[in-house]
Amino acid sequence: MVAFQIGQVSITGNYRDNNEDSCIVDDKQRFAIVADGMGGQSAGERASALAIELIPRWLEKLLDFEKADTAAVNEALEKSVAHANSEIIALSELDPGMRNMGTTVVMMARVKDRFFFTGVGDSRAYQLRGGKLKQLTVDHSLTQALMDAGTITAEDAKTHRYRNVLYKYLGSRDGATGGTAVEVTPKSGDRFLLCSDGLTDGLQDSQIAELLKSHDDPQTLAEILVDAALEGGSRDNITALVVICN
């Protein structure tokens, strides 16, 4: 297993009153999670905080991080997300102040010598290998669905009126699964990014690729990416979590 380091930054940004993003890195570096809450006022903040509290709790119950095979990892990830989704829905129905709350989630789990990536919503995971950037997760947004159907182009999607509308997130009936996780055997030199859509609102993929090459310290890289997204005009909270394999 290659050694790796992790850096993370989460900021409110210039246009919001509070930070509805949350992120967590396990003390043993077995998993890392970024969540982007929605729902207005404190509801989104509560939803993302619940996601990064509940998913780790279930992962530790369900997943053997030293021995699990691919099928067992996928099952544990799916069940952890499903449990968090159910709890968020239940709270939103019980507490009028939390009605319509939800959150995206994107995460990486390390099992033996492999990384597994999954997400629900439009927070993303990227891999930079050999200078090439690859998006590992799929956006569960209406614009992505329209692009998949061939109705609009990627250029259209940037300014489309539904570009921030999600059809799947934690807190929705369809939010219990992000689908099969993407499995990666990390190599020395690999760089990974987990981020909220505040980052991708301010940066194009080509800019992310260049910035991910610009430093060898993950904490510095996370700060560089967030600052660049802010300068790029992001109007949201911004979170970047960077993994560098040595």
Q: Does residue 211 fall inside a structural domain?
A: yes
Contact 101, 47 (CB under 8 A): yes
Per residue in 93-135, pLDDT (tens digit) is 998 888 889 999 999 999 999 999 999 999 999 999 999 999 9
Q: Does residue 31 fall inside a structural domain?
A: yes
* Averaged pLDDT score across all residues of the chain: 95
Q: Does residue 151 fall inside a structural domain?
A: yes
Report the first-to-last Cα separation within the chain, whole angstroms: 10
Whole-model pTM: value is 0.96
Q: Does residue 246 fall inside a structural domain?
A: no
| Residue 21 in this model has a pLDDT that exceeds 90 | yes
Amino acid sitting at position 122: D
Give me the pLDDT at residue 29, please.
Answer: 96
Q: What CATH number does residue 86 fall under?
A: 3.60.40.10
Q: Residue 39 and residue 44: Cα distance in Å, rounded? A: 5
Contact 36, 238 (CB under 8 A): no
The total domain count for the chain is: 1
155, two tokens? 């250029």
Q: Does residue 139 fall inside a structural domain?
A: yes
Give me the pLDDT at residue 41, please.
Answer: 63
Q: Does residue 51 fall inside a structural domain?
A: yes
Number of helices and strands in the chain (H, E): 7, 10
Indicate the SS3 state at residue 236.
coil
Amino acid sitting at position 208: I
Domain extent, residue 170, equals: 4-241
